[in-house]
A = this chain, B = another copy of it.
Amino acid sequence: MNDYKVIEIKRSVFESNDREADKVRQQLKADRTFLLNLMSSPGSGKTTTLKQTIAALKDEYKIGVMEADIDSDVDAKTIAETGAKSIQLHTGGMCHLDAGMTKQGLDSFGSNEFDFVVLENVGNLVCPAEFDTGASKNAMILSVPEGDDKPLKYPLMFTVSDCVLINKIDTKSVFDFDDEAVVERIKKLNPNCEIFFISAKTGEGIDAWTNWLRKEINAWNS
């Protein structure tokens, strides 16, 4: 039995997403639940990165994962296999989650039972960047095959992310990808952004990323 369920979330009725996002954050803080909003393009390795992250942190925290997807439950099934509790949010075609939709997911999930909840946002570098979900921190994944020019083309996503994971570094032999150029482009948009180079497939770099995450979770939940 896979331990997940599917809920259909509806477009938020709230006029001000930012106000609603602040309320979500206040509740998370009161509940001592750290919410990470994880964004990326389709196929950048969000789910595989999550599996590594859960493996590294599951003995320290009670972890839940909310998988937002337009119309499938592929990811929730995969995550459920790790033993973490998982829920699938169906956005009904919507290309992003806003704070009201995130709240529906958190409430349905019973998020106050968890120390650490990950919201795996819809695979999209455009729309999710425009909506504050109310998360404690935003992280995004850029994978090597996508190219080092993405900060130039999707600047808002890189601007709103507290942390950027450069994934699939194990595939560098077959792609032209300039590490220095990508760091420079990200830092120009967002000087305080944390950047980690990882391979979710081989596990390389996962320690540095989960060390950062552990520090952020502990600071939020203290």
**Taking beta carbons and an 8 Å cutoff, which residues of A are in contact with B?**
41-43, 69-72, 74-75, 93, 95, 122-127, 130, 143, 145-147, 149-150, 152-156, 168, 170-171, 173-175
Contacts and interface: CB of A to CB of B under 8 A. Distances in A.
Contacts of A149: 74
Contacts of A145: 43, 143, 145-146, 168, 171
Most chain B CB inside 10 Å of its own CB: which residue of A143, A149, A156? A149
Number of copies: 2
B153 A69 contact: yes
Nearest to A145: B145
Given A146-B43, A174-B174, A153 B95 contact: no
B42 A153 contact: yes
B95 A127 contact: yes
Given A123-B154, A143-B145, 17 more contacts: A41-B42, A41-B43, A41-B146, A43-B145, A43-B147, A69-B153, A70-B126, A72-B152, A74-B153, A75-B153, A93-B156, A95-B124, A122-B126, A145-B145, A145-B146, A170-B174, A171-B175
Nearest to A144: B145
Contacts of A75: 153
Contacts of A146: 41-43, 145
A74 B152 contact: yes
Contact of A93 (B130, B143, B171, B174): B130
A177 B186 CA distance: 30
Given A93-B130, A126-B124, A174-B173, A153 B72 contact: yes
